[in-house]
Homo-oligomer: A and B are copies of this chain.
Amino acid sequence: MAVQENEGYRGPQVCKIVGITYRQLDYWARTDLLRPSVSEARGSGTQRRYSYRDLLELKVIKRLLDAGVSLQSARRAIECLRGGLGEDVASANLVLDEGSSVLAHSDGELIDLLKGGQGVFNIVRLNGVVEELDAAITEFGPAPTVPDTHVEAAAGSGS
């Protein structure tokens, strides 16, 4: 399946869905935190195109930042999330210990993790993130303020 030009979510759309500024999205793309996986921009006036998976990761980053975690630590968290690609991510807890990150799938596993490590942890509960993202896509993704059949088709193919 060849990548269609309209596939994925545009930069400004992503900012609305995830709840971040364009500046942030741009900086993160430029500094390799999260680049648009569907399509990079080819210059001014062209568009970055992000996948649904990109949006999920961005949402997690946003949460971490809101909780006062530095962007550097968020970078590590995202690496872990990318490593857990095949797992049931939506029901897990992402546990960041100093220098490492793990996905915990049960309360017991979580408690065990908290007894080890260096003694300081960042925890991201993932099971509400997908729902929240889907709700935001419903609001900002398929139905922009200015009705646009063209954009609607793009949003549909992104999920």
Which chain B residue shows the least CB distance to A122? Answer: B122
Find residues 48-74 in chain A having any chain B CB closer than 8 Å to their own CB. Answer: 63-64, 66-70, 72-74
Does A107 have its Cβ within 8 Å of any Cβ on chain B? yes
CB-CB < 8 A to A69: which residues of B? Answer: 68-70, 73, 120, 122
Describe A's contact surface by its main secondary structure.
mixed
Q: Which 10 A-B pairs have the closest CB atoms?
A: A68-B73, A67-B120, A119-B125, A121-B123, A63-B120, A68-B70, A67-B98, A120-B124, A107-B111, A122-B122
Query: Measured between alpha carbons, how far is A67 from B121 in the docked complex, in Å?
Result: 7
Interface size of A in residues (CB-CB distance below 8 Å):
30
A117 to chain B minimum Cβ distance, whole angstroms, is 8
Contact of A93 among B67, B96, B98, B114 (CB under 8 A): B114
A80 to chain B minimum Cβ distance, whole angstroms, is 13
CB-CB < 8 A to A63: which residues of B? Answer: 118-120
Q: Are A119 and B110 in contact (CB under 8 A)?
A: no
Does A38 have its Cβ within 8 Å of any Cβ on chain B? no
